[in-house]
């Protein structure tokens, strides 16, 4: 079976983000960009499924500017077989991404779409769920374990207060949580090999998807700076301050 993995190019998680002076978003000019961390986990899982023999082909797809090709190359270096870049400038909201992924999933005849549980830039946590709804496929979100057997995916989900296991009939949509696996580092030979793997470029219009934004961002601001704390010499002083200054005990 074929697997489609969605990989988004986002500001690297080590970068301290700065809000643009016009408060419309965060600064991305001159900032290090990388694959969304949860998408690395999704790619790793797809590659592991291929290594186990449960999957024949892994297709990495990214929707965004031309440089999102680099994100696809990273997925190829980790072991994906080929890539699709859906080239679009500006913001592409989760619903538009889900519509694009739906068209590609149908066109490619995949039986599993793997996504990250959320993109760390906008924290929407919506694309996988919307995709499952559009396709009418079952979904397993926040996955910490995936097993494929007999036309089904058994997915362990991280839910409040524990783990939930669901059995999904394939085709299905699964979103990766942090504990699903530890993504590999691409080795130099694999990075070289990835340069030869094919990446197809299409436009949203080729898939008949309109990506015009439907949401208006009113304001983006930094969180209020926290006041500096104080160091206390011992427990007795701490208790005294909690009782008499903070008045919480």
Q: Which residues bind ligand AMP (CB under 6 A)?
A: 6-8, 36, 38-39, 62-64, 92, 94, 97, 115-116, 118-119, 122, 124-128
Question: Which residue, chain included where needed, has tokens 């058994």?
Answer: 154
What's the token pair of residue 162? Answer: 């524990």
**Chain residue at closest Cβ approach to ligand AMP:** 116
- Which one, 76 or 242, has the nearer CB to ligand AMP? 76
Instruction: Give the shortest CB-97-to-ligand AMP separation in angstroms.
Output: 4
DSSP assigned state of 184: P
Select 37 or 241, whichever has its Cβ closest to ligand AMP. 37
Nearer to ligand AMP, 32 or 243 (CB): 32
CA distance 45 to 8: 16
**CB of 204: closest distance to ligand AMP in angstroms?**
11
- 111: closest CA among 166, 174, 31? 174
Which distant-in-sequence residues (6+ apart) come within 8 Å of 242 by Cβ?
Answer: 248, 249
Q: Give the gyration radius of the chain's Cα atoms.
A: 21
Q: Which residues pair with 167 in a beta bridge?
A: 154
Measure the CA–CA gap between 81 and 192, rounded to whole angstroms. 14
Nearest to 35 by CA among 54, 57, 61, 8: 8
- Closer residue to ligand AMP (CB): 70 or 151: 70
Q: Could you tell me the smallest distance in angstroms from the CB atom of residue 234 to ligand AMP?
A: 46
Q: How far is the CB of 238 from ligand AMP (least distance, A)?
A: 40
Closest separation in Å from C-beta 244 to ligand AMP:
45
Nearer to ligand AMP, 55 or 85 (CB): 85
Q: Output the CA torsion 153→94→108→192 (10° steps).
A: -90
In the complex, the smallest distance separating the C-beta of residue 152 from ligand AMP, rounded to whole angstroms, is 22
Nearer to ligand AMP, 36 or 74 (CB): 36
Instruction: Please return the burial class of 171, using the count of CB atoms within 10 Å of its CB with bins 0-12, 13-18 and 19+.
Output: buried
Nearest CB to ligand AMP, comparing residues 126 and 207 = 126
Q: Least distance to ligand AMP from the beta carbon of 240, Å?
A: 46
Which DSSP helix (H) or strand (E) runs through 239? helix 235-244
């Amino acid at each position: 079976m074929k697997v489609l993995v969605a990989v988004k190019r986002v500001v690297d998680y080590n970068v301290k983000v700065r809000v643009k002076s016009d408060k419309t978003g965060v600064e991305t000019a001159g900032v290090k960009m990388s694959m969304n961390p949860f998408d690395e986990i999704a790619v790793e899982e797809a590659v592991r499924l291929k290594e186990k023999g449960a999957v024949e082909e892994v297709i990495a797809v990214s929707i965004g500017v031309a440089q999102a090709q680099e994100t696809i190359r990273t997925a190829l270096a980790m072991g994906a077989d080929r890539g699709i870049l859906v080239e679009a400038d500006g913001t592409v909201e989760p619903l538009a991404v889900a519509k694009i992924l739906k068209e590609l999933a149908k066109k490619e005849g995949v039986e599993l779409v793997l996504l990250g549980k959320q993109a760390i830039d906008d924290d929407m946590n919506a694309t996988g769920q919307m995709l499952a709804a559009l396709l009418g496929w079952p979904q397993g979100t926040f996955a910490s374990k995936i097993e494929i057997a007999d036309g089904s995916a058994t997915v362990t989900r991280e839910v409040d207060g524990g783990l939930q296991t669901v059995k999904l009939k394939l085709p299905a949509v699964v979103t990766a949580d942090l504990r699903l696996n530890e993504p590999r580092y691409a080795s130099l030979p694999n990075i070289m090999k990835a340069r030869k793997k094919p990446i197809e470029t299409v436009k949203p219009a080729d898939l008949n998807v309109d990506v015009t934004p439907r949401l208006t961002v009113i304001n983006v601001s930094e969180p209020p700076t926290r006041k500096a704390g104080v160091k206390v010499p011992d427990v007795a002083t701490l208790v005294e301050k909690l009782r008499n200054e903070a008045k919480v005990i």
